[in-house]
Structure 1
Amino acid sequence: MLIREFAESDWAQVWQIVRPVVRAADTFTYDPGMTEREARAVWIEAPPGETVVAVDGDEVLGTAKVGTNRPGPGSHVATASFMVAPASRGQGVGTALVRYALEWARRRRYAGMQFNAVAESNKSAVDLYLREGFTIVGTVPGAFAHPIHGRVGLHIMYAPL
C-alpha cells in the first residue's frame, strides 16, 4: 500500500468511497444528501492542506484530508478526516492514513492535531485514534443524530505533537 497525494484521476474512486459513507449518515456530520460536486468541494483540501489516497496499484483503498483546524490564533493545530473503502476496512488502511496525517502535521510543526466531531458510536475510529495517541478532551452529548442509535455524543479528540 502506498499513500500519495490525490490526483484528479482519483476522484471517481474517491467518490465511490465518500458517497456511501456520507449517505449512511452514521459517522460523519455531512449532509447525507450532499451532491458529488458538494462532496468534492468539502473533501479536496486547498493548500496548505492536502488530500491523499491510499492505493494498491491503481485501486484506491482509502482517502484522507489534512489541514489547519482553525485560522488565525488557532492555526498551530492541525485536523484530519479519513474514509476507507468498505472492502479495505480492518486491513490497516485507516491506521496508515492516521499515521500519515500525524507525520504530515509534525513535518509542518503543528503543535497538535484535533478532531472536532468523532461520533462516539464510531467505535472503530475512536479506538484507532486512542491507539495512535489521541485523548477524548470532551464530548458534546447528543450532538450526532445516528440513524440507528439515535442521538449520541460527538467527541472532541486531541493529540499533542
Structure 2
Amino acid sequence: MAAPTTPLQIRPYEDADWPGVWRLLEPVFRPGETFPNDPAITETEASESWEEQNRAVMVAVDAARALVGAYSLRPNSLALGAHVANAGYVVAEHARRQGIGSRLCQHYLQAARRLGFQAMKFNLVVSTNIAGIRCWERNGFQSIGTLPGAFLHKQLGYVDALVMFQLLL
C-alpha cells in the first residue's frame, strides 16, 4: 500500500455531499461485485440506505476538496446486539491503492470506540474483494467464518463471503 499522495481530510457528511457520494457509490453498486445492494438501486434508495440508522457518516476529501471516499457507521444489530458496529465504505476508483481505504478504516474504528461500540463486524465481505480483505486484515480484522455461496456476484455467480471481526476494547 502506497502512502496517500495528497493530503486527506475526513470530515462529517453534509447533505450537500450526497451527489459526490453517489458518484462514488453508483459505480461500485452497478457491477454487483462487492456490495449486497441491488445493482439497479435508484439514487433515492441508495441515499436512504446510506444514511439510514447510521451513527456517523463521514467523507474523505483531497486537497482539491474532491470527494475520494466515504463511510457510514451503524449498529450491526438491534437492541441487545447494538454494541457491535458495522460500516460500509467506498473509495473513488481513481484514488485506490493510495492508502485511503486504510485511513478511512482507522478513522471509523476510532469513531466506533468514541461512540461506545465494543466491536466491529463486517457481515458479508465478498471473497473476491481481495483489496478490501487485505485492507481490513492490515487494520486488525480477522476472518471468523466463511459463508459458502452467500453472495450472488453479478459475473461469477454464487461466491463465498467472509465474516470479519475486531474487538474494540
Give TM-score scaled by structure 2 length. Answer: 0.91
Q: Which moved more, 1:75-84 or 1:140-149?
A: 140-149
The reply on whether 1:104 has 2:111 as its aligned counterpart is: yes
- Compute the displacement of 1:145 (Å): 1.6
User: Which runs of structure 2 are paired with 1:14-93 in the superposition (5 Å)?
Assistant: 14-46=21-53, 49-56=55-62, 57-93=64-100
Deviation string 1:57-80 (CA, Å, 9 cap, x unpaired) is: 320001100011111110111111
- Compute the displacement of 1:148 (Å): 2.8
> Which structure 1 residue ranges, 5 or more long, are not aligned?
none
Which of 144, 147, 154 does residue 161 from structure 2 map onto? 154
- In 1, Cα distance between equivalents of 2:117 and 2:21: 27
Deviation string 1:9-59 (CA, Å, 9 cap, x unpaired) is: 111111111111100100011000000000000112445x11110001320
Which of 123, 131, 153 does residue 138 from structure 2 map onto? 131
- In 2, Cα distance between equivalents of 1:147 and 1:46: 27
User: How many residues are matched?
Assistant: 160
RMSD: 1.1
Runs of 4+ in 1 over 4 A off after TM superposition: none
- In 2, Cα distance between equivalents of 1:42 and 1:140: 23
Give TM-score scaled by structure 1 length. Answer: 0.95
- In 2, Cα distance between equivalents of 1:78 and 1:84: 20
Q: What percentage of aligned pairs have identical amino acids?
A: 38
